[in-house]
A and B are shown apart, each in its own frame.
Chain A
Amino acid sequence: MPNAILDPTGRAQARPPAAGLQLAPRRQDPSGLRVGLLNNTKHNAALLLAEIGKLLAADHSMSVALAETKPNFAAPAPAELVDRFREQCDVVVTGVGDCGSCSASAVADGIVFEQAGLPSAVICSDAFTVTASAMADLRGAPGYHFIVTEHPVAVLDEEQVRQRAKRLAPEVVALVTAKAGR
């Protein structure tokens, strides 16, 4: 009997993550929802989120209750940060997934917010959808829906960021309310 070839991954016997993320419950009506903005520090992310926040307030009667910056774009959002969003917000908008690790990390955060009961909209550049989806699979949430925007975001000027925010705001509203039809 020959010796077995060893598995170098350590995951052959690993329990697959429980499939099927239970999304946070959504309201039909966005009006009155308190929005949290989580900026992952990528260039133009703060401006894009702020502009989206203004549009959610002006056009959908929502309000920006909290705007924070992630301490490390590559790492998962710390538990204390998630707690603050849970205490002060009803929904979360986060991004921009615009690099190798932050795209995956933004999706991981979105999943954590959903598990904490907060409907979330993760914004990711279209150059990083594969790695973002790979993270969703890893977290037991295959098919997790995030908002995809054209790459690149970092080179846009302020006016272009505002235009981008206008296009994305309706998608954000749809994703954090029951209108997404998921």
Chain B
Amino acid sequence: MTELDPDKAQAAIEHCYEQGWSDGLPLIPATDPLVDKFLAAAGRSPDEVIGRLPQLDRVVTVRLAAINAAMAGCLPEYFPVVLAAWEALMRERVTGGGGWQSTSGPAPLIIVNGPVRAELGFNTAGGVFGPGFRPNATVPRAIGLIVRNVYGIHPHELEQATQGLPGRWSICVAENEEESPWPSLASEAGLPDGVSAVSATLLRTCEFVDNRHTASAEQLLADFADSIGRSGPWIFQHAAAGVVFCPEHAQMLAAAGLGRAEVRGWLVEHSGRTTADLARVGKDRVEGRLRLPGDGEPAAEFQRMLASEDRTNLLIAVAGARNAGISMIVRLFADWSGAAVPVIRP
């Protein structure tokens, strides 16, 4: 390895910092030969427009996405996954509006299905929310760099996150289809088996449900419903959520005869708070879109957090290790498109 020149590499990395291109971590300096490999892996026209923000008058092309994916540390063969993740995000209502600039500082959640998981080495199992796996780490980072560099949405300037959230550009899980009792998320979205695909939405946060000792599916679901329905994340009439179930929880629910739709139906019915509970936190009255302080009546009325049993209000996926009953509730920034976007390779 005598021909490697770390001093030159360091200088090139510092150059990228000096240009303001970095999210804070070192970038891979992108060059034409490297980016050409990305473009070849995707087989798309470099000039194809894949995103636009009218308020900023900026557009994302395949070529600009490739440069940012290379800088994020992706391998060229990840690029079709980056493009599918980007398109899945573009199908979210809020990403064409003010989502990236929001005080909420939302994070993309990217979920990968299909053969591409094993082919590219995506983690589906232990520690699936990271870190440690190059595709899981670099695909979402590429999205963050596109937003930063192509849209020009920088923190403290056009990006106004009050606090943001941990791991904002690093949440990419591959579904553990092998240990899931249910059809994959991509199948649920209507894609044929064997098609690699990406689903994505924007999150406000993730929070765990640790329940290892009940044998009752109803008690387990009640634990999820209680956490989903708490008041803090509830700012509009309804709020959307998701659950990334660990295999153990998913298998227990499936053994009780519950599919995704039944789980969703149960959680929609039971996730929420009474008007009295909501009055205590000044969120019992709905005016326009917002929750505001009201008079607390009728006190015993149960208000549901999730708008309906439509899957766009409650994303359900399965990932992680089959070693404990620990699952993750995810808090959606808005509603979810419900789409799974196929990974296209030439």
Contacts and interface: CB of A to CB of B under 8 A. Distances in A.
A7 B290 CA distance: 42
Interface stretch (A27-35, A52-60, A86-94, A95-103): A95-103
A130 B156 contact: yes
A33 to B, nearest CB: 28
B55 A75 contact: yes
Nearest to A109: B55
A102 B158 contact: no
A180 interface: no
A103 B58 CA distance: 18
A138 to B, nearest CB: 6
Contact of A10 (B19, B29, B103, B150): B150
Contacts of A102: 98
Contacts of B101: 74, 100-101, 104, 131
B30 A99 contact: no
Contacts of B21: 8-9
Nearest to A6: B30
B145 interface: yes
A100 B98 contact: yes
Contact of A5 (B12, B54, B56): B12
B161 A100 contact: yes
Contact of A4 (B32, B57, B158): B32
Interface in A90-123: 99-105, 108
Contacts of B211: none
A103 B19 CA distance: 26
A72 interface: yes
Assign chain A's interface to a size class.
20 to 34
B149 A9 contact: yes
B157 A72 contact: no
A135 B29 CA distance: 29
A126 to B, nearest CB: 13
B323 interface: no
A101 B67 contact: no
B15 interface: yes
Contact of A9 (B57, B97, B150, B158): B150
B83 to A, nearest CB: 16
B150 A75 contact: no
A5 B104 CA distance: 33
A125 to B, nearest CB: 11
A29 B29 CA distance: 58
B31 A100 contact: no
B187 interface: no
Contact of B98 (A6, A73, A138): A73
A11 B61 CA distance: 12
Contacts of B31: 3-6
Nearest to A139: B57
B153 to A, nearest CB: 9
Interface in B182-197: none
Interface string B26-43: 000111110100000000
Which interface residue of B19, B160, B290 has the most chain A CB atoms within 10 A? Answer: B160
A9 B156 contact: no
Interface string A51-92: 000000000000000000000111110000000000000000
A134 interface: yes
B160 A8 contact: no
A9 to B, nearest CB: 5
Interface string B64-103: 1001100100000000000000000000000001110111
Contact of B55 (A10, A11, A76): A76
A177 B233 CA distance: 44
Nearest to A98: B103
A11 B152 contact: yes
A173 to B, nearest CB: 28
A22 B152 CA distance: 25
Given A9-B150, A75-B97, A99-B103, A131 B158 contact: yes
Interface of B: 12, 15-16, 19, 21, 29-33, 35, 54-58, 61, 64, 67-68, 71, 97-99, 101-104, 145, 149-150, 152, 156-161, 288, 290
30 contacts: A5-B15, A6-B31, A6-B32, A7-B19, A8-B68, A8-B145, A9-B152, A10-B61, A11-B152, A41-B288, A72-B97, A74-B98, A74-B99, A75-B55, A76-B54, A76-B55, A99-B98, A99-B103, A100-B101, A100-B161, A101-B101, A103-B160, A104-B55, A105-B55, A105-B98, A131-B158, A131-B159, A131-B160, A135-B55, A138-B152
In the complex, the 9 A-B pairs of residues with the closest C-beta atoms, listed nearest first? A101-B98, A74-B98, A100-B160, A3-B31, A101-B101, A74-B97, A8-B149, A100-B101, A6-B30
Given A10-B64, A101-B97, A134-B157, 9 more contacts: A3-B31, A10-B61, A100-B159, A100-B160, A103-B160, A105-B55, A108-B55, A131-B101, A131-B160
